[in-house]
Amino acid sequence: MSNPFPLAKLITPALDGIVRAVSGRGNQTEGLAKADAAMNLILAFQPRDVIEMTLAGQTVLFNELLADGAHDALRGTVDGAKQRSHAILVSMGRLVQGHLDRLERRGNQPYRTAAAAPREAARPVAVKRPETVQCRRRSAADAA
């Protein structure tokens, strides 16, 4: 029995709002480029069903919100608002991590290029410590 809801037919309805939200700023050319980048990033998770597609899409969206909020918090928010935005950013970061954890628990295998060959373990190098200089206080007799 074939799936009546093939994933290819669900991509647009499932991700359209997220992609539009991420790409909504700037001119039309920038918007299209951001939309393509967001869609590619979401699909790089290689979602197998609508749940994974939603989690991947929300992860990309929240990552964009996190980056935008971090920019605001670091570049020009007043101190009181900055403290509140830090708390919100931490919560958002946890939300993104939760989505990634859920995807991992579901066995999601994002697209990966060939892994680089592991580097040979670096051997510890003996570092000669500089000699410590002993400072002693001058006594009244030394000062005279």
Domain boundaries, the chain: 7-115
Enter the pTM of the model: 0.63
Q: What is the pLDDT of residue 87?
A: 81
How far apart are the two ends of the chain, measured CA to CA in Å? 103
Q: What is the pLDDT of residue 50?
A: 86
Ranges of residues in the chain with a pLDDT under 50 are 116, 122, 125, 127, 129-130, 132-133, 135
How far CA 51 is from CA of 8, 22, 87, in Å, comes to 14, 20, 28
Q: What is the pLDDT of residue 60?
A: 92
Single out the residue of 32, 90, 86, 38 nearest to residue 59, CA to CA. 38
**Four-point Cα dihedral 5, 11, 14, 19, nearest 10:** 180
